[in-house]
Chain A
Amino acid sequence: MAMPYYVSPEQMMQDKAEYAKKGIARGKSTVVMEYDAGILLLADNASSLNKISEVYDKIAFAAAGKYSEFENLRKAGIRHADMKGFIYSRKDVNARSLANAYSQTLGTIFSQEAKPLEVEILVVELGETAAENEIFRIQFDGSIFDEKSFTVVGGKAEPLYEALKTRYQLTGLEAAIKICVEAMEDSDQQKVPPTSLEVAILDRHRAERQFRRLGADELSAALSA
């Protein structure tokens, strides 16, 4: 009689985590950063398959890793938010409950499925003032982190985080874009042209839906200013 394999839970978790980390490390990075009138979301992404998305009036989603996996999570988030806003009111939709839902989902998949999701997710909410902004980072295993000022997900996240740490300050939008792109170029050791970036903002000056994408010409203008 063949004996079933025994793999210790520690070993299994470690293998899964390694697998997920490797998958995420292959991709490019995505940054979110606060600026004086909002939150900037910037992904190194030349394709039309978006990594950044509007979720609700003041809430945005950004991800890194495997597209097909985070795209499903993005849609689930929009459904969660729209349903909650419709049943209760638009004011009752917040990033914290959304981030918790993501954390639960990723955690369950990590512990129960054979293959963990190779994704890292950011859920951000624009507050009335910069102090009330919320930035949540959710890892492949469901661990959730409450970040301040800026954060990075995806491949090469650590060098980019370090590069941002030395540069970060609360500035206007154009300066914030410059800081992000310079940090990206620095940690990547290569030029990042505006056409290879996907950029959006949550803009406090906008009424109702505060999410807006920035086009390549707006980016070039900001970078040459």
Chain B
Amino acid sequence: MGDFDFDDPGSSFHRLLASQHPDMLSPRLDQANAIPNIKDLSKQLPHGTTVLALQHRDGVIIAGDRRATEGYSISERRIKKVHKTDATSAIAIAGAAGPCLDLIRLFQVELEHYEKLEGEELSLDGKANKLAQMVKANLPMAMQGLVVIPIFVGYDLAQKKGRIFKYDIAGGQYEETEYYAIGSGGKDARGTMKKIFAPGLTKDKAIRVALEALYDAAEADVGTGGPDLIRGIYPNVKVITEKGVEDIADEKIATAYQTIIPPQKQGGS
């Protein structure tokens, strides 16, 4: 606890964990060669698929379908890929479900830990950069098929606007100004958003765009789950504004889908 001790984990929980319980993190890149029998594990573990984010007039929306797949099987119908990370930010992840959920949990604690130690929140850029480092640290696992790729969104209180950050497996971080989607159905969702997204959408219209994009992704991609009217399973949608992170209730999403899905597909005449 000395002055300017650079081995001190400082305000980072990630570094604290690395110093005290390195076994709980993925191995460092320079140690990855020591792992015997490197092979592609991607077909043996549940994978989360399509998640997306888009801007609206007062902030951003982040949404994801509920399916996880294991090879060609559905392993989970109700998985949650969209999570609140702190009062004004949220994350959605595509990739190997276990490592994804681990990363989300670690990132949530990281932000809270920093806020408590420092007495103030990280800036949105600070949060996004920290996430990039954590994704980069997962690269050795990604090389074995355990890919973890997030979309991070938040309301930037300094710039007074919602912002969207996307990542690649090497920790590359890119800011998107309008919308983005990742995962196996990401390309289909992006196609839909390209057609119907417009800047300055109201919150409700933007939710509709997100739901339509996820619906189209589910139509075209086996890995993406559509709205399940029989079991009552709907995508997770969160709206982030200056006021915070709002969960959109299933009932509201179910109502919105009634006007999105053509009547013949709902089992009507």
A86 touches B20 (CB 8 A): no
Chain A neighbourhood of B117, CB < 8 A = 75, 78
1/0 per residue A76-97: CB within 8 Å of B? 1011001101110000000000
B106 touches A55 (CB 8 A): no
Q: List 24 A-B contacts (CB under 8 A).
A: A50-B119, A53-B116, A53-B119, A55-B116, A75-B1, A75-B117, A76-B1, A78-B113, A78-B116, A78-B117, A79-B16, A82-B13, A82-B116, A83-B13, A83-B16, A83-B17, A83-B20, A85-B109, A86-B13, A86-B106, A86-B109, A87-B21, A87-B24, A209-B112
Interface residues of B in 80-117 (CB under 8 A from A): 105-106, 109, 112-113, 116-117
Closest 4 CB pairs of A and B: A72-B1, A82-B113, A78-B116, A86-B109
Tell me the A residues contacting B by CB distance below 8 Å.
50, 53-55, 72, 75-76, 78-79, 82-83, 85-87, 209
Task: Tell me how far the C-beta of B245 lies from the nearest C-beta in chain A, rounded to whole angstroms.
Answer: 12
Chain A neighbourhood of B112, CB < 8 A = 82, 209
Chain A neighbourhood of B105, CB < 8 A = 86
Interface residues of B in 1-24 (CB under 8 A from A): 1, 9, 13, 16-17, 20-21, 24
Task: Tell me how far the C-beta of A211 lies from the nearest C-beta in chain B, rounded to whole angstroms.
Answer: 9
Kindly state the separation between the CA atoms of A82 and B112 in the bound complex, as whole angstroms: 9
For A50, the closest partner residue in chain B by CB is B119
Task: Tell me how far the C-beta of A198 lies from the nearest C-beta in chain B, rounded to whole angstroms.
Answer: 11
For A73, the closest partner residue in chain B by CB is B1
For A209, the closest partner residue in chain B by CB is B112
Q: How many residue pairs between the two chains, A and B, have CB atoms under 8 Å in the bound complex?
A: 35
Task: Tell me how far the C-beta of A178 lies from the nearest C-beta in chain B, rounded to whole angstroms.
Answer: 27
Q: A79-B16, A83-B20, A86-B17 are in contact. Are A54 and B116 (CB under 8 A)?
A: yes
Kindly state the separation between the CA atoms of A55 and B157 in the bound complex, as whole angstroms: 24
Chain B neighbourhood of A72, CB < 8 A = 1
Q: Other than the known A75-B117, A82-B13, what 17 A-B pairs have Cβ atoms closer than 8 Å?
A: A53-B119, A54-B116, A72-B1, A78-B117, A79-B9, A79-B16, A79-B113, A82-B109, A83-B13, A83-B16, A83-B20, A83-B21, A85-B109, A86-B13, A86-B105, A86-B109, A209-B112
Chain B neighbourhood of A85, CB < 8 A = 109
Which of A55, A72, A78, A209 has the largest count of B CB atoms less than 10 A from its CB?
Answer: A78
Task: Tell me how far the C-beta of A199 lies from the nearest C-beta in chain B, rounded to whole angstroms.
Answer: 15
Kindly state the separation between the CA atoms of A72 and B1 in the bound complex, as whole angstroms: 7
Which of B24, B105, B109 has the largest count of A CB atoms less than 10 A from its CB?
Answer: B109
Chain A neighbourhood of B109, CB < 8 A = 82, 85-86
Which of A75, A87, A209 has the largest count of B CB atoms less than 10 A from its CB?
Answer: A75
Chain A neighbourhood of B106, CB < 8 A = 86
Chain B neighbourhood of A86, CB < 8 A = 13, 17, 105-106, 109
Task: Tell me how far the C-beta of A32 lies from the nearest C-beta in chain B, rounded to whole angstroms.
Answer: 18
For A86, the closest partner residue in chain B by CB is B109
Which of A50, A85, A86, A87 has the largest count of B CB atoms less than 10 A from its CB?
Answer: A86
Chain B neighbourhood of A78, CB < 8 A = 113, 116-117
Kindly state the separation between the CA atoms of A141 and B119 in the bound complex, as whole angstroms: 28
Kindly state the separation between the CA atoms of A78 and B113 in the bound complex, as whole angstroms: 7
Chain B neighbourhood of A53, CB < 8 A = 116, 119
Chain A neighbourhood of B1, CB < 8 A = 72, 75-76
Kindly state the separation between the CA atoms of A78 and B115 in the bound complex, as whole angstroms: 11
Interface residues of B in 92-148 (CB under 8 A from A): 105-106, 109, 112-113, 116-117, 119
For A213, the closest partner residue in chain B by CB is B119
For A48, the closest partner residue in chain B by CB is B119
Task: Tell me how far the C-beta of B13 lies from the nearest C-beta in chain A, rounded to whole angstroms.
Answer: 6
Task: Tell me how far the C-beta of B232 lies from the nearest C-beta in chain A, rounded to whole angstroms.
Answer: 25
Interface residues of B in 223-266 (CB under 8 A from A): none
Chain A neighbourhood of B116, CB < 8 A = 53-55, 78, 82
Kindly state the separation between the CA atoms of A86 and B111 in the bound complex, as whole angstroms: 13
Chain B neighbourhood of A87, CB < 8 A = 21, 24
Kindly state the separation between the CA atoms of A55 and B9 in the bound complex, as whole angstroms: 17
Chain B neighbourhood of A75, CB < 8 A = 1, 117
Task: Tell me how far the C-beta of A83 lies from the nearest C-beta in chain B, rounded to whole angstroms.
Answer: 7
Kindly state the separation between the CA atoms of A50 and B16 in the bound complex, as whole angstroms: 23
